[in-house]
Amino acid sequence: MSVRHRLGLAVLVLALAGPAAAQAPPLPSGSVPITPARPAPDDPDAVIVSELVVVAREKGPAWWTVSNGTSTVYVLGVPSIAPKHMQWDRTGFDRRLQGANVVILPFQDVRVRFTNAFGAAWNYLRLRSSTPFEETLDPAARAAFADARTRVGQPAKRYATRNPLAAALLLINDYRNRFDLTNTDPIKLIKGLSQEAHIPIWQKSYDIAPQLGAVIRTPNAAGMGCLDQVIAQIHAGPQVTLDAAKAWAQGDVPAALGNERTYERCIALVPGAAAFDNRVKSDQVAEIEKALQKPGHAIAVVQLRPLLSQGGVLERLEAAGFTVKTPGEA
């Protein structure tokens, strides 16, 4: 078995997106949980700072502005999941890219440190099973799982694990692949355009080995709760994501936040997810602060919910004394 194959499931665990906990089925298009009555305790992005959620005045996707009076970072909020190769008006991006000191991107790449490679492979093998996952379920749950994986065009042997969270993460990843949804666009395009313009890029990678081991430690009840939500999302289909992506491209932030978050909610169930989420946000904030120390301007790209949530990137920058303007301000 190749190292790439052995670590395939680990890559699923760290797919880009901010962690959040398993909750109710996806909301209808246009619904945005700005202040849920009972935010899940594991969900760092459940509550959004409503003052930051506006419809952009400028044509195209919404931009927030962070400044210290002499330097500026233009922050583009992007979806955590969107159609592959989606089209959007790049006028605002192209203008800001000119003369930018740096483009700060969310993490996309993951790695395994050499010293942790054996442990990562061992943890992967502990998740593997010779028995398809659905054969470990009661008849009703087995039928629901079989229906879901049939909808995404996968055989039972694809999910050879006894770990429900691992099965759920793999199933939702297959669903997204089936409907040409991705967590790499539009970030991949932005990275390519920045490279073509010879603008320096900051994009951090993280060691995935601890997260793979953490999947094993996730309680089965939590994993089964995640699986229920994954199956519900597969039955609901991709329309909510398509609608949210269209709204994002038009600068309609409230509607863009209506995107489905099944994968992201499930990731938060993994022990250590909250600490990892905090680390990622802290790294992004630190890099934006660093960019503000240099005269001129820079671009930062942050997923919408980690950007706008309570304790998120913008709120942390405001707490540090920087001025934050919304896309609705002149």
Which amino acid is located at 45 in the chain? D
| Predicted local confidence at residue 311, as pLDDT | 96
| Predicted local confidence at residue 216, as pLDDT | 82
| Predicted local confidence at residue 15, as pLDDT | 33
Please give the average per-residue pLDDT across 146-164, as a whole number: 95
pLDDT digits (tens, 9 = 90+) for 78-103: 999 999 999 999 999 999 999 999 99
| Predicted local confidence at residue 119, as pLDDT | 52
| Predicted local confidence at residue 56, as pLDDT | 97
CA distance 92 to 77: 13
CA distance 314 to 49: 9
Inter-helix orientation angle 164-178/220-236, to 10°: 20
Residue 120 has pLDDT above 60, yes or no: no
Cα atoms in the 13 Å half-sphere on the side-chain side of 107: 24
CA distance 227 to 270: 14
pLDDT digits (tens, 9 = 90+) for 270-327: 888 899 899 999 999 999 999 999 999 999 999 999 999 999 999 999 999 999 999 9
Most confidently predicted of 145-149, 165-169, 214-218: 145-149
Alpha carbon dihedral 244, 73, 312, 220, in 10-degree steps, equals 60
Q: What are phi and psi of 247, to 5 degrees?
A: -65, -40
* Residues 154/213, Cβ–Cβ less than 8 Å: no
* Distance from the Cα of residue 126 to its chain's centroid: 26
